[in-house]
C-alpha cells in the first residue's frame, strides 16, 4: 500500500473531521539543515540548526486589543496590529490578517467542489482586523467584520504558511558511483509495475529517491512496448523530435544523440523554457561493442559544489544563460539558470546542464563573465569526476527512466547498429503522480 501523507481537504466543514483523524502532521515533515535533510523531530530545540517561523514567545492573548480570543488553546494565540501569532506544538506561525483573508476558505470565497478560489467575491489585501478568533488546538476559527467566517485546519496551515523547512516525504539519496553501486540499482519488475499500485509507487519512489529507476524484464521488445511502459506514469511530452522516438546512429537529426560518438553527461532540453521531466530509454537492439549508458547525479554534484564553493553555487543559481537547438527550420532557445533552488528552503530543484547546447553567451555582462566561467568549470569538475559516474549496460527489456531535472545521462561511443526507443514525460505530470501517491510535497 502506498502512503498518502497529506490528503488535505480545504474545507472548513470537513477539516474538523480530518483533524480528529490525523492529529500531528509535523512528524512527517523534515527540515533542511545545510545540504542534508534531517528529521524535524531531531532538530527541534536546537537553536543552531532550526530555522523557525521567527517569532518569539510568550504566546498569550494580548490584553487591551479589541479582538476577542476564545477556545481551549487561546493561550497559544497572540494578536498584534497586523497578525496572529500561533503556536502549535513546536511550530510557530505568523499569520498576517491580509494573508488569512486572502486564504478565506468559506464557501463564498472558495469553491470546495473545484478547489479553486472564487476571485470575484473576495475582498483582498485590506488587512482588515478579525472581529473574533477561536483556537481549540486543531482548528483556527476567524470571524471577519463583514460576516465571513473561516475555519483553518491546523494541518493545512502548517503545510501552507510561509516556511523554510524541507517538506519532501522521501529522503533523497544523493549518490556517487560507490553509493549507488552499494545501494543496488533501483528497479521494479515489469509485471509488478504494470499491474499494481504498489509497483507504480515503487517506481516513482525510486525516481524521487535516486533520480532514476529501471523497469526490468519488459516483454519481447518493440517501440510500442516501450511507450506502454512509459505512459503508465502519465502522457508523453511531444517535442520537435516527435511524440516519441526510435533512433540509430544515422545522423538523421542535428543532435549528437543521433551519432555513434561518446556523449558526456548532460541533461536534455536545456533549450526549452521548461525542460522535459523524464527521459525514457530502451535499447531495443545492439549488435556491436560499447554504448554503455552513463548517469551522474546532478543534485549530488550541485551539493558538492555548494559545500566546497558556496559562492560559485550561488552564482549558478542566479546567472541566466541561453541554450539552443538549431536546425534549418528550428530556432529553439531558452533563458535559464544552470542550477535552481527552492525560493524559501534553498533546496535543490533543478540542474540544466548541457555544454553541447549552450548558446553564445550574450546574457552575461563582460565584467561578470570570468566569475561565471569559473563557477561553470567548478561544476563541470564535479560532473566529470569519475567517482560520480555510474556506467551501466542497458539490454533489451530494461526500460530506464531518468529524472531530467536531476540526473544527467550520457553514453560511451559504440560500434554496430544500436536502436534506441524512448520518449519524454512532462515534469508537472509525473510530479503530480508522485504527489498523489504521497511521495512529494514541493
108 vs 115 by CB, closer to Zn ion = 108
Closest distance to Zn ion from the beta carbon of 145 (Å): 12
DSSP secondary structure string, 363-377?
A: SS-HHHHHHHHHHHH
Closest distance to Fe ion from the beta carbon of 200 (Å): 25
Question: Which runs of E-coded beta strand occur in 342-431?
Answer: 348-351, 389-392, 399-403, 407-411, 418-425
Closest distance to Zn ion from the beta carbon of 128 (Å): 11
312 vs 411 by CB, closer to Fe ion = 411
The stretch among 28-36, 102-110, 208-216, 264-272 that binds Fe ion (CB under 5 A) is 264-272
Closest distance to Zn ion from the beta carbon of 146 (Å): 9
Q: Which residues bind Zn ion (CB under 5 A)?
A: 104, 106, 108-109, 148
The residue number with the shortest CB distance to Fe ion is 268
268 binds, among Fe ion, Zn ion, none (CB under 5 to 8 A by kind): Fe ion
Q: How far apart are CA 307 and CA 77, in angstroms?
A: 39
138 vs 338 by CB, closer to Fe ion = 338
168 binds, among Fe ion, Zn ion, none (CB under 5 to 8 A by kind): none
148 vs 163 by CB, closer to Zn ion = 148
Closest distance to Fe ion from the beta carbon of 253 (Å): 12
Among 195, 242, 202, 196, smallest CA distance to 223 is for 242
**Phi and psi angles of residue 111, each rounded to the nearest 5 degrees, phi first:** -90, 115
Binding flag, residue 357, Fe ion (CB under 5 A): no
Cα→Cα distances 262→168, 279, 409, Å: 36, 18, 11
18 vs 247 by CB, closer to Fe ion = 247
The enclosing H or E element of 317 equals: helix 310-318
**Phi and psi angles of residue 97, each rounded to the nearest 5 degrees, phi first:** -55, -40
Closest distance to Fe ion from the beta carbon of 177 (Å): 20
Which of positions 114-153 make contact with Fe ion (CB under 5 A)?
Answer: none
214 binds, among Zn ion, Fe ion, none (CB under 5 to 8 A by kind): none
Determine how many CB atoms are found less than 10 A away from the CB of residue 27.
Answer: 11
Cβ contacts of residue 84 below 8 Å, gap of 6+? 77, 78, 94, 95, 97, 100, 130, 133, 140
369 binds, among Zn ion, Fe ion, none (CB under 5 to 8 A by kind): none
Burial group, residue 348, by CB count within 10 angstroms (0-12, 13-18, 19+): buried
The answer to whether residues 24 and 137 touch, using CB atoms and an 8 Å cutoff, is no
The enclosing H or E element of 225 equals: helix 223-230
The stretch among 9-17, 187-195, 268-276, 377-385 that binds Fe ion (CB under 5 A) is 268-276
**Which of 153, 168, 268, 382 forms a contact with Fe ion (CB under 5 A)?**
268
The stretch among 53-61, 222-230, 261-269, 367-375 that binds Fe ion (CB under 5 A) is 261-269
104 binds, among Fe ion, Zn ion, none (CB under 5 to 8 A by kind): Zn ion
Size of the site for Fe ion (CB under 5 A): 1
Question: Which runs of E-coded beta strand occur in 77-131?
Answer: 77-79, 83-88, 91-96, 110-111, 116-117
Among 188, 217, 219, smallest CA distance to 203 is for 188
Closest distance to Zn ion from the beta carbon of 109 (Å): 3
Between helix 197-210 and helix 427-436 the angle, nearest 10°, is: 120
**Torsion angle of C-alpha atoms 366, 371, 377, 380, degrees rounded to 10:** -100
The answer to whether residues 420 and 285 touch, using CB atoms and an 8 Å cutoff, is no
80 vs 359 by CB, closer to Fe ion = 359
The stretch among 112-120, 202-210, 246-254, 262-270 that binds Fe ion (CB under 5 A) is 262-270
106 binds, among Zn ion, Fe ion, none (CB under 5 to 8 A by kind): Zn ion
Closest distance to Zn ion from the beta carbon of 350 (Å): 36
148 vs 236 by CB, closer to Zn ion = 148
51 vs 112 by CB, closer to Zn ion = 112
Closest distance to Zn ion from the beta carbon of 107 (Å): 8
Closest distance to Zn ion from the beta carbon of 160 (Å): 16
Cell numbers for 67, please give them. 479582538
The enclosing H or E element of 155 equals: helix 154-160
77 vs 104 by CB, closer to Zn ion = 104
Binding site for Fe ion (CB under 5 A): 268
Amino acid at each position: 500500500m502506498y502512503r498518502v501523507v497529506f490528503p488535505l481537504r480545504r474545507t472548513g466543514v470537513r477539516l474538523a473531521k480530518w483533524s480528529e483523524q490525523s492529529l500531528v502532521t509535523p512528524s512527517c515533515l523534515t527540515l533542511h539543515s545545510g545540504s542534508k535533510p534531517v528529521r524535524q523531530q531531531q532538530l527541534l530545540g536546537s537553536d543552531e540548526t532550526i530555522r523557525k517561523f521567527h517569532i518569539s514567545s510568550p504566546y498569550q492573548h494580548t490584553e487591551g486589543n479589541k479582538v476577542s480570543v476564545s477556545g481551549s488553546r487561546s493561550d497559544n494565540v497572540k494578536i498584534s496590529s497586523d497578525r496572529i501569532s500561533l503556536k502549535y506544538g513546536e511550530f510557530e506561525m505568523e499569520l498576517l490578517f491580509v494573508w488569512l483573508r486572502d486564504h478565506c476558505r468559506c464557501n463564498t470565497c472558495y469553491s470546495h467542489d473545484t478547489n479553486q478560489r472564487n476571485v470575484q467575491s473576495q475582498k483582498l489585501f485590506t488587512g482588515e482586523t478579525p472581529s473574533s478568533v477561536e483556537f481549540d488546538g486543531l482548528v483556527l476559527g476567524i470571524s471577519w467584520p463583514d460576516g465571513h467566517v473561516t475555519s483553518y485546519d491546523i494541518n493545512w496551515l502548517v503545510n501552507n504558511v510561509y516556511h523554510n523547512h524541507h517538506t519532501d516525504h522521501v529522503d533523497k539519496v544523493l549518490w556517487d558511483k560507490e553509493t549507488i553501486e552499494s545501494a543496488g540499482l533501483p528497479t521494479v519488475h515489469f509485471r509488478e509495475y504494470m499491474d499494481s499500485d504498489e509497483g507504480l509507487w515503487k517506481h516513482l519512489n525510486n525516481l524521487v529517491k535516486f533520480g532514476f529507476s529501471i523497469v526490468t524484464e519488459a516483454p519481447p521488445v518493440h517501440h510500442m512496448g516501450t511507450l506502454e511502459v512509459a505512459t503508465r506514469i502519465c502522457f508523453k511530452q511531444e517535442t520537435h523530435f516527435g511524440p516519441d522516438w526510435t533512433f540509430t546512429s544515422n545522423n538523421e537529426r542535428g543532435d549528437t544523440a543521433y551519432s555513434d560518438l561518446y556523449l558526456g553527461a548532460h541533461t536534455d532540453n536545456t533549450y526549452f523554457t521548461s525542460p522535459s521531466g523524464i527521459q525514457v530509454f530502451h535499447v531495443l537492439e545492439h549488435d556491436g561493442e560499447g554504448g554503455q549508458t552513463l548517469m551522474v547525479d546532478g543534485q549530488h554534484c550541485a551539493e558538492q559544489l555548494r559545500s566546497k564553493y558556496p559562492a560559485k553555487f550561488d552564482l549558478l543559481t542566479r546567472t541566466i544563460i541561453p541554450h539552443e537547438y538549431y536546425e534549418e527550420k528550428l530556432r529553439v532557445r531558452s533563458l535559464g539558470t544552470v542550477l535552481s533552488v527552492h525560493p524559501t528552503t534553498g533546496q535543490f530543484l533543478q540542474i540544466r546542464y548541457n555544454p553541447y547546447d549552450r548558446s553564445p553567451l550574450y546574457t552575461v555582462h563582460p565584467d561578470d563573465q570570468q566569475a561565471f566561467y569559473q563557477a561553470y568549470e567548478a561544476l563541470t569538475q564535479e560532473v566529470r569526476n569519475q567517482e560520480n559516474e555510474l556506467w551501466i549496460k542497458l539490454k533489451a527489456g530494461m526500460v530506464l527512466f531518468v529524472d531530467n531535472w536531476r540526473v544527467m545521462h550520457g553514453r560511451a561511443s559504440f560500434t554496430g547498429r544500436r536502436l534506441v526507443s524512448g520518449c519524454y514525460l512532462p515534469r508537472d505530470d509525473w510530479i503530480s503522480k508522485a504527489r498523489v501517491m504521497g511521495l512529494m510535497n514541493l
